[in-house]
Amino acid sequence: MTKPNLTVKDLHVSIEEKEILKGFGIEVNGGEIHAIMGPNGTGKSTLASALMGHPKFEVTEGQATIGGEDLFDMDVDERARAGLFLAMQYPSEISGVTNADFIRSAMNAGREEGDEVSLMKFIRQMDDKMNTLEIDESFQHRYLNEGFSGGEKKRNEILQLLMLKPEIAILDEIDSGLDIDALKVVSKGINEMRGDDFGCIIITHYQRLLNYIQPDFVHVMMQGRIVKSGGPELAKKLEEKGYDWIKEELGIEDEKVGQE
Amino acid sequence: MTTEITFPVNQQEVTNFSKDRQEPQWFTDLRLSSLENAFSLELPKAEKTRINKWNFTSFDFDAKTSGSGNFSDLSDSVKSLVGEEKNIQNLIAQKNGVTTFQALHEDLKNKGVIFTDLTTALSNHEELVKKYFMQDAISANENRLTSLHAALVNGGTFLYVPKNVEVEVPLQAVYSHEGTFGLFNHVVIVAEENSSVTYVENYLSEGSHSEAVANIVAEVYVGDGATVRYGAVDNLSDTVTTYVNRRGQVTGRDAKLYWALGQMNDGNTVSENTTYLVGEGSYGDTKTVSIGRGNQSQNFTTNIIHFGKHSDGQILKHGVMKDSATSIFNGVSKIEHGATKANGEQTERVLMLSEKARGDANPILLIDEDDVTAGHAASVGKIDPLQMFYLMSRGLTKKEAERLIIHGFLAPVVNALPIESVKEQLYDVIERKVY
């Protein structure tokens, strides 16, 4: 099996004709964890949504490939089946559909008829992963995200990640609204995925999460593109000194791109 | 009664029909007076739906069927609803009003539970039937269709649960319809003080589809501290015009009545479902789901009328609309003067799958008392694109994502049906109608 790869080049994305991403590029390979950091309003979540194919965002320029295939040529579900996963900041609530039914349908979505995951195997895996994430048994019989607390929704996103085992995952502010215990649990889940057949982009405001998930690369986003990259030490420096020194260094006055 | 008849059916025919069944005189008299009234009464008002050109009166009155009473003679579609013969304990199956199979567990019989076809009930429990049949919950003289119903009733069930008897297993009824027959089905359920019972019925069409009429009335009486759960799946074919009126008289203190109605007819349908919360602290809960498709026109009105103090009424109506179908969803919570501390809540949601379909949700609160709480929510719209994005981002195809959302949307009734085979059947009907 070839190593997972996500390559994004010179990406421009607009929402309602306002350009949010202005020439964003990144390459993520299996075995790598990239952290994308930056102040509010610099286009981080837009990046996540646009790569997954959110209907509100329009890609106006640039390329993206997953495993060498053109990402923007695919519908949302095809992107997922090609190995892309987005843990969303605000996942939808869907009444009447149980978590278990949904996750099982999703696991079978990429499979041929007759090759579906057996019920026994599914139950075993669910039990195992829910155990890892310290999720109560009743969780799987509740309706998808309906009435879930913020923390429960985040855990549910990570549960899906562990069950679906994508090649490339984008985690969009998976740490926001989590207390320290929940953060540890969620990190444990993500660390379980680490390995050559998994690449990950973690989008976050805070260095806090990176204490538990050691990134290989850290990127800082401003004005809709990456303005600085480095190793884990960059995150530490940001934690200590904030973002102003980067703005000074690069002569940026307003890091935002107009949204939020 | 063998020839094709168009309304008005003549008096002699009705008299003969009643005699053939050896009905008591008062019942024959009710038939005859109702037949006469039907001439002068108006059609029921179906708010925002024009029904005056619908066929309610042209049908065949010959059932063309007979009941052997043998399980093996039941059709496959009925069998799939009731499960295996060895597991059947409590069931009434009728085809064109004729009872084809009947069972009631010995224990329940010994406790005094009556669960039998209406004709048998009229001969064995005449006084009980007389006490309830079209007395309080509904009157024969309300409109032309109720009077026609009283005149021509030709099928149905009588269920009586005595004081303090809790029936733990659901009682099932399957009413199948075939050909040009006019089905006038009547269900009476009486739950005495502190009793409880669950009843689930299916209406279905068999054989080739022909122009026909179904005129259905159900009455439920719930006594002090009693609980009735009433589940139904209506699944008559596109050529059957249906009038169905299900009424609940929740007269008892702290009495409870739960409706779960899967309204899946393919033909034009007027449905009224009214719950009278008379008892203090009484509770009424109505859940209905429906799918409109093809060119059918449907009108679904749910009323909960509060008289009792501290009464609580809940309405949930979900409808899916496709093709060129039209449906009107009226929800009415009416709180009468004196019903202090009453609470009425309702939700109507309509999911539009086609540009050409029409769906109206009309939540109405009519409140004549100050000291109450009430609320409503209504929406008509397409499937939420963000829900689609979320599901598809996990690899589900557009079709599969839509399927999950629609099944989820209709789940409140599917989940409330207590018989697994009926639940599965409703799931399959939804699947078939949506795709």
Contact between B142 and B172 under an 8 Å Cβ cutoff? The reply is: no
Answer yes or no: pTM beyond 0.90: yes
User: What would the pLDDT profile of A105-117 be if each residue is shown by its tens digit?
Assistant: 999 997 888 889 9
Say which residues have a Cβ less than 8 Å from residue B367's Cβ, sequence separation at least 6.
B333, B334, B335, B344, B374
User: What pLDDT is recorded for position A1?
Assistant: 62
Q: What angle do CA B76, B119, B422 make, to 5 degrees?
A: 30
B394 vs A91: CB contact, 8 Å cut-off?
no
**What distance in Å separates the CA atoms of residue A101 and residue B12, rounded to the nearest whole number?**
59
Say which residues have a Cβ less than 8 Å from residue B340's Cβ, sequence separation at least 6.
B309, B310, B369, B371, B372
B398 vs A88: CB contact, 8 Å cut-off?
no
Tokens encoding A210: 């990176």
User: What pLDDT is recorded for position B8?
Assistant: 55
The reply to whether B400 touches chain A by the CB within 8 Å rule is: yes
By CB atoms closer than 10 A (0-12, 13-18, 19+), residue B382 is exposed
Q: Quick one: closest CA in B to A170, which residue? A: B393
Farthest CA pair distance, chain A: 59
User: What would the pLDDT profile of B93-138 be if each residue is shown by its tens digit?
Assistant: 999 999 999 999 999 999 999 999 999 999 999 999 999 999 999 9
Residue A169 Rama label (left phi>0; alpha psi -120 to 50; beta): beta
Cα Rg of chain B, angstroms: 21
Q: Across the interface, which of B396, B398, B405 has its CB nearest the CB of A106?
A: B396
Say which residues have a Cβ less than 8 Å from residue B81's Cβ, sequence separation at least 6.
B172, B174, B202, B204, B421, B422, B425
Mutation site for B-interface testing, chosen from A49, A52, A105 by largest number of B Cβ within 10 Å:
A105
Distance from CA of A246 to the nearest CA of B (A): 35
By CB atoms closer than 10 A (0-12, 13-18, 19+), residue B50 is exposed
Q: How many Cα neighbours within 13 Å face the side chain of A138?
A: 2
User: What would the pLDDT profile of A190-231 be if each residue is shown by its tens digit?
Assistant: 999 999 999 999 999 888 899 999 999 999 999 999 999 999
A96 vs B407: CB contact, 8 Å cut-off?
yes
Distance from CA of A113 to the nearest CA of B (A): 14
Helices (H), chain A: 44-52, 76-81, 99-109, 119-132, 150-164, 180-193, 232-241, 244-250
User: What pLDDT is recorded for position A110?
Assistant: 79
B386 vs A92: CB contact, 8 Å cut-off?
yes
**What distance in Å separates the CA atoms of residue B226 and residue B5, rounded to the nearest whole number?**
43
The reply to whether B404 touches chain A by the CB within 8 Å rule is: yes
B393 vs A80: CB contact, 8 Å cut-off?
yes
Helices (H), B41-124: 76-82, 106-110, 118-124
B400 vs A109: CB contact, 8 Å cut-off?
yes
Q: Across the interface, which of B387, B392, B411 has its CB nearest the CB of A80?
A: B392
Mutation site for A-interface testing, chosen from B392, B397, B413 by largest number of A Cβ within 10 Å:
B392
Residues of chain B with pLDDT under 50: 1-5
Distance from CA of A160 to the nearest CA of B (A): 8
Q: What angle do CA A17, A20, A22 make, to 5 degrees?
A: 110
Q: Report which DSSP code applies to A143.
A: B
Output the tens digit of pLDDT for each of chain A's 260 residues: 689 999 999 999 999 989 999 999 999 999 999 999 998 899 999 999 999 999 999 999 999 999 999 999 999 999 999 999 999 999 999 999 999 999 999 999 978 888 899 999 999 999 999 999 999 999 999 999 999 999 999 999 999 999 999 999 999 999 988 889 999 999 999 999 999 999 999 999 888 899 999 999 999 999 999 999 999 999 999 989 999 999 999 998 888 886 44
The reply to whether B410 touches chain A by the CB within 8 Å rule is: yes
State which H helix or E strand residue B127 sits in.
helix B126-132
User: What would the pLDDT profile of B20-71 be if each residue is shown by its tens digit?
Assistant: 999 999 999 999 999 999 988 999 999 889 999 999 988 888 777 777 788 9
Q: Across the interface, which of B385, B392, B415 has its CB nearest the CB of A77?
A: B392
**What distance in Å separates the CA atoms of residue B45 and residue B31, rounded to the nearest whole number?**
23
User: What pLDDT is recorded for position A36?
Assistant: 97
Please report the ipTM that was assigned to this predicted complex.
0.96
Q: Across the interface, which of B387, B407, B409 has its CB nearest the CB of A92?
A: B387
Distance from CA of A109 to the nearest CA of B (A): 5
Contact between B175 and B185 under an 8 Å Cβ cutoff? The reply is: yes
A77 vs B395: CB contact, 8 Å cut-off?
yes
User: What pLDDT is recorded for position B47?
Assistant: 87
CATH of domain A5-92+166-250: 3.40.50.300
The reply to whether B393 touches chain A by the CB within 8 Å rule is: yes
Q: Which residues on chain B are in Cβ contact (under 8 Å) with A75?
A: 392, 398
Share of residues in chain B with pLDDT > 90 (%)? 89
User: What would the pLDDT profile of B307-318 be if each residue is shown by its tens digit?
Assistant: 999 999 999 999
β partners of residue A63 = A9
Mean of pLDDT over chain B: 94
Share of residues in chain B with pLDDT > 70 (%)? 98
B393 vs A79: CB contact, 8 Å cut-off?
yes
Q: Which residues on chain A are in Cβ contact (under 8 Å) with B399?
A: none
Tokens encoding B34: 């109702």
User: For chain A, how far is it from start to end, CA to CA, in angstroms?
Assistant: 41
CB neighbourhood size of A5 (10 A): 18
Q: Which residues on chain B are in Cβ contact (under 8 Å) with A143?
A: 408
Q: Identify which of B258, B30, B237 has the alpha carbon closest to the alpha carbon of residue B126.
A: B30
